[in-house]
Amino acid sequence: MPRRPRLTVPNVPLHIIQRGNNRLPCFFSEADYLVYLDMLRRSAQQAGCRVHAYVLMTNHVHLLLTPQSCSSPAIMMKALGERYVPYINRRRNRTGTLWEGRYRSCLVQDAEYLFVCQRYIELNPVRASMVTHPLDYRWSSYQANAYGEKSNIVEPHSLYMALGTERFERERRYRALFENEMPWGMVEQVRKATHRNAVFGSEDFIERMAIASDNDVMPRRRGRCRD
Q: Which of 87, 96, 99 is nearest to 61 (CA)?
A: 99
Three-state DSSP at 70 gives coil
**Single pTM value for the model:** 0.90
pLDDT band with cut points at 50, 70 and 90 for residue 1:
very low
**pLDDT computed for residue 214 by the predictor:** 65
Taking all residues of the chain, what is their mean pLDDT, rounded to a whole number? 91
Label residue 129 left, alpha or beta by phi (over 0 means left) and psi (-120 to 50 means alpha): left
User: First vs last Cα of the chain: how many Å apart?
Assistant: 22
190 confidence band (pLDDT: 50, 70, 90): very high
| Neighbour order of strands in the sheet with 49-56 | 49-56, 60-67, 14-19, 104-108, 199-200
3-state DSSP of 154-211? ECCCHHHHCCCCCHHHHHHHHHHCCCCCCCHHHHHHHHHHHHCCCEECCHHHHHHHHH
Residue 218 pLDDT: 54
What domains can you pick out in the chain, each with its CATH number?
14-211 (3.30.70.1290)
- How far apart are alpha carbons 86 and 94 in whole angstroms? 9
> How is residue 12 annotated by DSSP?
S
What's the confidence (pLDDT) of residue 217?
57
Q: State the pLDDT at residue 3.
A: 57
pLDDT in tens, 46-105: 999 999 999 999 999 999 999 999 999 999 999 999 999 999 999 999 998 999 988 999
Q: Does the pLDDT of residue 209 top 90, yes or no?
A: no
Cα–Cα distance between 85 and 96 in angstroms, integer? Answer: 9
- 8-state DSSP, 131: -
Q: Give pLDDT, residue 150.
A: 95
Task: Indicate the burial class of 23 (C-beta count within 10 angstroms; 0-12, 13-18, 19 or more).
Answer: exposed
Q: Are strands 14-19 and 49-56 parallel, antiparallel or unpaired?
A: unpaired
* Tens of pLDDT, residues 152-177: 999 999 999 999 999 999 999 999 99
54 φ, ψ (degrees, to nearest 5): -160, 160
